[in-house]
Chains A and B, each alone.
Chain A
Amino acid sequence: MKIDPIHQFNIEPLFTIGHIGNHTIAFTNSSLYMFLSVAVISLLMIGGMAGRQLVPGRLQSIAEISYEFVASTIRSTAGTEGMKFFPLIFSLFMFICISNLIGIIPYTFTVSSHIIVTAALAFLVFFTVLIYGIYKNGLKFFKIFVPSGVPIYILPLVMFIEILSFFLRPVSHSVRLFANMLAGHIALKVFAGFVAMLGVSLGALGWAGGMLPLALTVALTALELLVAFLQAYVFAILTCIYLNDAIHPGH
């Protein structure tokens, strides 16, 4: 009896679309779950807004609460000017949140547990900040590397650290989401594997003793629900903070 916690992250092609060079372009289970989360979000938002009652029902409440939540986050971190990026941040937040929550369900695939997905999202944010910052502020954008009020003799060192941390942003932004989801799902699988290992090796006594890791698995699933939402929120709020640099450089 061997635990294989990595198997759940396998990408399997469902059907092949075509070939480019030696690479097969296939519709994989990852693409399926991406489409699924987009479909869930669309249903939620379009279905929630279809009735448009003054006193909202359940679906409309969810749609309104998620709108208000993201909008207040943007207003408090990037100011009112940040609201022009609302569609971007709302899409990122909802996509990550819903795909994480779908991934909690056993036997499903977690889209954000692959670094290529999170890195694509993080680089989208990084280049949005870079291009919009230079477009809006011109060369003044580079003032974010020069914090005000720093003594001149340590300024080169501070600038070096600021530039380094600016270019490490997409790395930490993507690795945080990916590693959190990966580590959480591995931990779940390992604890769930303990139940089967105990039961297979010790028989009836083992199945009784397996209650403990089973209870821990349930508790970890609850923690994972929190982490799934929290990581989506962290991704969104960091996007807001990075965009704030592009909108108001030199703060």
Chain B
Amino acid sequence: MEPAAAKLIGAGIACIGMGGAGVGVGIIFGNYLAAAVRNPSAAQGQFGNLIFGFAVTEALGIFSLLIALLLLFVPL
């Protein structure tokens, strides 16, 4: 296989990892919203935790995006 083609395919495969981060971020915000609707007075106090969980989860998806970007734009 051509190395250039392999790089492009690899970049596409690396992006699959972002799906997992998408699921994770959805679970975090969904659960936060469900809890906030049940007890709105406690919601504001957990906003920092929400953002922290979001950031940590999103980082993993960003890593796979980074691999895709490296494969696409960094000459080997």
Which residues does A use to contact B, with CB under 8 Å?
A: 6, 73, 76-77, 172, 175-176, 179-180, 182-183, 230, 233-234, 237-238, 241
Q: Which residue of A lies closest to B60 (CB)?
A: A172
Report yes or no: A176 in contact with B59, Cβ–Cβ below 8 A.
yes
Which residues does B use to contact A, with CB under 8 Å?
A: 45, 48, 51-52, 54-56, 58-59, 62-63, 65-66, 69, 73
Contact of A237 among B48, B63, B69, B73 (CB under 8 A): B48
Which 7 interchain pairs have the tightest Cβ spacing?
A172-B59, A179-B62, A234-B55, A176-B59, A179-B66, A176-B62, A77-B48
Contact of B51 among A6, A172, A175, A233 (CB under 8 A): A233
Among B54, B55, B73: residue with most chain A CB under 10 A: B55
B56 — which chain A residues lie within 8 A by C-beta? 172
Report yes or no: A175 in contact with B59, Cβ–Cβ below 8 A.
yes
Please, could you name 16 A-B residue pairs with CB atoms under 8 Å apart, sorted by A? A76-B48, A77-B48, A172-B59, A175-B62, A175-B63, A176-B55, A176-B59, A179-B69, A183-B62, A183-B65, A230-B51, A233-B51, A234-B51, A234-B54, A238-B52, A241-B52
The A-B contact count (CB < 8 A) is 37
A170–chain B nearest beta-carbon distance, Å: 12
